[in-house]
Chains A and B, each alone.
Chain A
């Protein structure tokens, strides 16, 4: 009799680990994504991002000119044949520079967003699911970070770092930026945690980690992904902001931020507006594209989850 009950419970448990919850994987999410593709703004945004990624990964696809092949006499010349973006201050082909700048800018954006995603995912789910001390500590920390103006804090920290690489900037941005996303994730987890199927799984003795992995996360993760997409643009923008203020990447790196910064100095751009225009245009288009993707995703997912 006891054996029967035990094996029954065991079977139940296996069933629970396999599939107790109506996970939002499969049809609803895929349907939502397919709906997103049908929107023209989404498509345009996707094209922009894919192009930029290509620029970043394989610059040779776009330009064969060496960005360092410069003739001073060409300094600040405008658009001309063979030089669709003119020349920069040193007389180098600007188009080539801008194309090569894509990589760094994208790296900063993507890495920042990625690491914020990871940190927020882990801390948010732990804090939300386990509550107690874990939650107190994490939430307190987040409160401190959220009570600080990010720009100011980042500036003063970056100022102190002599050597500034992409990783320095990513580090600072992630440090001051993870709190907001974490809160979001934590909220999501809290919502899902109180669902009946999760409670059912717990009662059946499924381990916490498994519950987190199979039931809580898949449902809580979509909003996080939306925020991450929006975060890429924010990372790229921040890099440029730092560069303008003089605490960004150090030359001779290539990035749109640096290019904009150099153009802004000494009124260079007022004499030769194309110096500012092209990297600014690329940066603006990219951030806009990421925002459109993020917003569209949020839109399609919102309706579905209603």
Chain B
């Protein structure tokens, strides 16, 4: 178990370095002055430009720049924007909103995906199965933001049921629509996986053995079929939780939520390059760490991983 944990951590570190390096490379090694690029179309005073340059150690050789940057980041210093406000404070304010959204969306998606998938898995080939497939394909294909706009329009504007912008109404009211949109978007792979997993498990040999032991249908279903069907599902859920936490920029932007994604979009609008870079790098790290934590939970569920 510890060996597995060490391996996973050891695996994460080069990935972390690799991805931050790649992003850093693409941001700061572009032709032209990176500081000007960060500023977009804004006019920046030479003093501010110099301050930013120092902040990112742009006068140092490239690799040194990167190492210093990584060092700063790991200490929680994500730089400051053009007005001197620290990026980390923006991140700090925004984080709770993203987490709230991610958790709510996750819960909704679990309900939708598992129920639909299970219903289809228990009745293969019948209406439930076809409905599941149609749902899956539909939400897989239609872009998330379209669903967002549609939901906003129908439920928010036409029917005035729920707020479509901002967090004025607090939790959970303001989060219902965005969480719903995110859940719909990500429930399809879950529904399909649940259906397939369940279908396969129900036809497996050990289910037959369970019946041969005299187990009742409910025992066969709960203790044998579902227990096994869940293994790949949980694996998938882990990944998807990490990705939800990685911030849904579009949904937060469309629903005007001041989470990490929303702040990122906001920074793009206001041409605050350092904030864009800062939040992005934070999200990158956040995603990697979440994925690692969830990875470390697998041995708990699947004994085969525990002993491998």
A and B part of one assembly? yes
Q: How many inter-chain residue pairs (CB < 8 Å) link A and B? A: 127
Stretch at the interface among A115-123, A158-166, A186-194: A158-166
- Does any Cβ of A come within 8 Å of B297's Cβ? no
List chain B residues, Cβ under 8 A from A270: 153, 157
- Does any Cβ of A come within 8 Å of B253's Cβ? yes
- Does any Cβ of B come within 8 Å of A245's Cβ? yes
Closest 10 CB pairs of A and B: A144-B18, A149-B246, A291-B141, A156-B280, A288-B141, A237-B143, A147-B15, A157-B26, A148-B19, A287-B141
List chain A residues, Cβ under 8 A from B157: 270
A residues contacting B by CB (< 8 A) are: 140-141, 143-145, 147-149, 151-153, 155-157, 159-162, 233, 237, 240-241, 244-247, 260, 264, 269-270, 273, 276, 280, 283-284, 287-288, 290-292, 295
Which of the residues A148, A157, A161, A260 comes within 8 Å of B287, measured between beta carbons?
A148
Looking at the assembled complex, report how far the CB atom of B166 sits from the nearest CB atom of chain A, in whole angstroms.
13
Stretch at the interface among B46-54, B67-75, B263-271: B263-271
Q: A157-B23, A287-B143 are in contact. List 16 more A-B contacts (CB 8 A).
A: A144-B19, A147-B16, A147-B288, A153-B19, A155-B276, A155-B280, A156-B277, A159-B273, A160-B27, A244-B145, A245-B249, A245-B250, A246-B268, A247-B268, A284-B142, A284-B146
Instruction: Indicate if the CB atoms of B34 and A240 lie closer than 8 Å.
Output: no
Instruction: Indicate if the CB atoms of A280 and B37 lie closer than 8 Å.
Output: no
Looking at the assembled complex, report how far the CB atom of B238 sits from the nearest CB atom of chain A, in whole angstroms.
14
Number of interface residues of B (CB under 8 A): 48
Q: How far is the CA of A230 from the CA of B37 in the complex (A)?
A: 34
Looking at the assembled complex, report how far the CB atom of B264 sits from the nearest CB atom of chain A, in whole angstroms.
7
Instruction: Indicate if the CB atoms of B284 and A148 lie closer than 8 Å.
Output: yes
List chain B residues, Cβ under 8 A from A244: 145, 250, 253-254
Instruction: Indicate if the CB atoms of B268 and A159 lie closer than 8 Å.
Output: yes
Looking at the assembled complex, report how far the CB atom of A285 sits from the nearest CB atom of chain B, in whole angstroms.
9
List chain A residues, Cβ under 8 A from B247: 149, 152
List chain A residues, Cβ under 8 A from B37: 160-162
Q: How far is the CA of A240 from the CA of B147 in the complex (A)?
A: 13
- Give the interface centre of A151, A276, A284 by most chain B CB atoms within 10 Å: A151
Would A264 and B268 be within 8 Å (CB), given that A159-B276, A160-B34 are in contact?
no
Instruction: Indicate if the CB atoms of B268 and A295 lie closer than 8 Å.
Output: no
- Does any Cβ of A come within 8 Å of B283's Cβ? yes
List chain B residues, Cβ under 8 A from A156: 23, 26-27, 276-277, 280
Instruction: Indicate if the CB atoms of B253 and A245 lie closer than 8 Å.
Output: yes
Looking at the assembled complex, report how far the CB atom of A298 sits from the nearest CB atom of chain B, in whole angstroms.
12
- Does any Cβ of A come within 8 Å of B138's Cβ? yes
